[in-house]
Amino acid sequence: MHVPRQLEMFPRSRPSHHFEVLLLNVQSSRKNSTLLNDLIEQSNTDVAFFVETWLRPTGDEKPPSKERTVVTRSKDIDHAKLSIDLSTKVQEIPIDSACDKVEAFNAIMTNILDKHAPLKSRTVTDKPAAPWRTATIKEAKAERRRAERTWKASKLTVHMDILSNVIAKLRT
């Protein structure tokens, strides 16, 4: 940790009964130590404190992020080819018994679906919510987004007033 040069403390001859304190972040002082020393000397403060605000107190660490794998199907489907495959493959279902029909239908549909919309997997990181983001705030933000969508769709002054009220409620 870099600390600017120590300043000599001279007794001040001010007829006041209060104590003046200057609080500075060490992170911002690294590049500007000369400017900070001048600031301290000119500020007429009795004591200057340097703190490191980016450090968390012990026991207040963030919980680790969790990763999970999500499997989805592709949305880029050629509907013309899909309908051709469906019409030709459905005719190939055997007519023996109802159980065989269901099993054959499920197998054919699964194969067609895998061919036209294959499964894709990706890793998603679930980050823990910020401690200040409570359920009330989350609900209020969702209400604001709903009001905003309603106003954008209609452009009516009534919906704009509703949106303004929701935003004002969220800010309080």
Residue 67 is predicted with a pLDDT of 87
Strands 47-51 and 21-25: parallel
- Say if residue 109 is in the same domain as residue 71: yes
C-alpha 48/C-alpha 29 separation (Å) is: 13
Q: Which residue has better confidence, 66 or 49?
A: 66
Phi-psi region of 103 (alpha: psi -120 to 50; beta: other; left: phi over 0): alpha
pLDDT per residue as tens digits for the range 115-161: 888 888 989 888 887 878 888 888 999 999 999 999 999 999 999 99
Do the beta carbons of residue 105 and residue 127 sit within 8 Å? no
Question: Which among 124, 97, 84, 92 is positioned nearest to 108, based on CA atoms?
Answer: 92
**111: CB partners within 8 A, 6+ apart:** 89
Q: In Å, what is the CA distance from 17 to each residue of 12, 57, 65, 170?
A: 12, 33, 51, 43
Question: Could you tell me if 147 and 99 lie in one domain?
Answer: no
Look at residue 33 and tell me whether its pLDDT is greater than 70: no
**Is pTM beyond 0.75 here?**
no
In a domain, residue 2? The reply is: yes
Indicate the number of domains in the chain: 3
Domain that holds residue 97: 66-126
Task: State yes or no: pLDDT of 114 exceeds 70.
Answer: yes
Q: What is the rounded CA–CA span in Å between residue 17 and residue 14?
A: 9
